Amino acid sequence: MTKGRKTTFEERVEIVQYCIAHNRNYAETAEKYQISYQQAHSYTVKYESGGVEVLRDHRGKRKNVDEMSELKKLRAEIKILKAEKEHVEMEVSFLKTRRNKEEAGLSLVHHEHIYQAIKEEHKEHNHPITDLCKLGGVSRASYYKWLHREIPENEQKKSRLLMRLKRFIQNPQIKDIKE
């Protein structure tokens, strides 16, 4: 028994013609065209019930704009505009977060502020990581590598020092910066 394979419209027409010409011998047709018995049978049955046009594969294809009703055209346009609006909102939000992260960064990691912004945007707004990485100009792999990295000891020390400095700036009555 041959495993099914993808066929073009022209092949399907040829398969049906051969099958009908050879007294609907599905097994012979399947063997000759290296398709499954089921494919040979279904192509022939479809052809007999609806003609040549039903052999076309319309899966995953959108209707032509000329074939759509006015209401469907408007709904499609609204859907596109909503998607564009969401993308622009994501872009604006990401750029704001990125700018804030750039100003506060002391890390030695290249693109640290971008990774932080991606992490924050995804957490707060649930924007797709792939879209945020494209906006930031970094690869998804590098983001995930950064996300799951072990933070070096000197970077942890810098982070703790930064936190202490922030507390000191916020509360000037503290005499000592140490913990």
Question: Taken in order 154, 155, 157, 161, is the CA torsion positive or negative?
Answer: positive
Give how far Cα 125 sits from Cα of 99, 129, 145, Å.
17, 11, 22
What's the rounded Cα separation, in Å, for the pair 24 and 44?
Answer: 8
Across residues 33-55, what is the average pLDDT?
Answer: 90
Average pLDDT over residues 134-159: 86
| Average confidence (pLDDT) over 167-175 | 74
User: Which pLDDT does position 168 carry in this prediction?
Assistant: 78
pLDDT in tens, 110-143: 778 888 888 988 898 888 999 899 888 899 999 9
Residue whose C-alpha is closest to residue 100's, from 128, 119, 85, 84: 119
Sorted by where each begins, the domain ranges of the chain are 9-55, 70-148
Q: What is the pLDDT of residue 174?
A: 65
Assess contact for 19 and 55: CB atoms under 8 A: no
